[in-house]
Amino acid sequence: MRGAGALVWPTHSRLPSFLDNSIAAVHICHRHRHSHPTVVVGAQQRKCQSLEEHYQRKATKYWNDFYKRHNNKFFKDRHYLEKDWGNFFSDDSFSPNGKVLFEVGCGAGNTIFPLVATYHKLYVHACDISPHAIELVKSRVGFKEDRINAFVCDVVDDSLSEKISPSSVDIVTLNIKSVLKPNGYVLLRDYAIGDFAQVKLHNRNQMIGDGFYVRGDGTCSFYFSEDFLSSLFLEAGFNTVEISVYSRQIENRSRNITMDRRWIRGIFKKECIAPDSALIPEAR
């Protein structure tokens, strides 16, 4: 029987359902106070909440338009995951027949295809909120149905039980915890607070929530801090194994600018609760 594993790669940032949106609105409204702060702040707060709700509700449309416009040309294939997390994808004594990977927000497949090519026993579940993104995955030369199960899903609202068996996955995140095995792992890499793109969006007043920004094409991105991300997983029943912020300066000579890019990388482990039988004393 095939072992199970999974990876979370949130390319489509959606705010966690338990994030306090009212706090986010206050942060924005503070920049717009005039001589009548109560009226202006209240109106601006309602506007902020309305914008956030709009882009959350229309996320599928904006990301679908994004992939129709860019196809699979926007993101490069990620060949560095073998170096960062290769031990999670390799066969071991618990999964000699290969592991199962679950990628959330797979986009055009820039993560899964390099991994499938490297780890020949690896099986991949991959979902995305964009139907066109899933079409792109299935149209790639390396796509094989016996290696990849690609399907449309909004993990914030949709149930995964029809696509993935409960407690069958080793690595996953947040409200898809139900498919994760006991002692399973979450591998997460996303944008960190202070990233060049965040600063740019912030200067353009495009923040619509605390750490949550909308781009010009309607797609959104969320920028995490280590404390926030650790707390988020702790509340969801995960222990932090490792978390760090990776920084890199990228020079764009044609535009004569240097960009300070920042990513956050985390490994989280699902808490394993002992079965009730282990808590019952033996009969004398």
**Is the model's pLDDT at 119 over the cut of 80?**
yes
> 156, 132, 141: which is closest to 10 by C-alpha?
156
pLDDT tens, position by position, 161-183: 777 876 666 555 344 566 777 77
Q: What is d(CA 20, CA 34) in angstroms, rounded to the nearest whole number?
A: 25
- Give the contacts of 7 (CB within 8 A, at least 6 positions apart): 85, 88, 101, 102, 103, 111, 171, 187
What confidence score (pLDDT) does residue 172 get?
Answer: 53
Chain CA centroid to CA 196, Å: 19
What confidence score (pLDDT) does residue 168 get?
Answer: 63
pLDDT tens, position by position, 61-104: 888 888 898 887 788 888 888 878 888 888 776 777 788 888 88
Q: Is position 283 within any domain?
A: no
CATH number of the domain enclosing 70: 3.40.50.150
Counting the structural domains of the chain, the total is 1
Q: What is the mean pLDDT of the chain?
A: 75
Q: Is position 173 within any domain?
A: yes
Q: Is position 80 within any domain?
A: yes
Q: Is position 241 within any domain?
A: yes
Q: Is position 281 within any domain?
A: no
Could you list the residue range(s) of the whole structural domain that residue 23 is in? 7-273
Q: Is position 2 within any domain?
A: no
pLDDT tens, position by position, 210-233: 888 999 988 888 999 999 999 988
pLDDT tens, position by position, 231-254: 988 888 888 999 999 999 998 888
Q: Is position 1 within any domain?
A: no
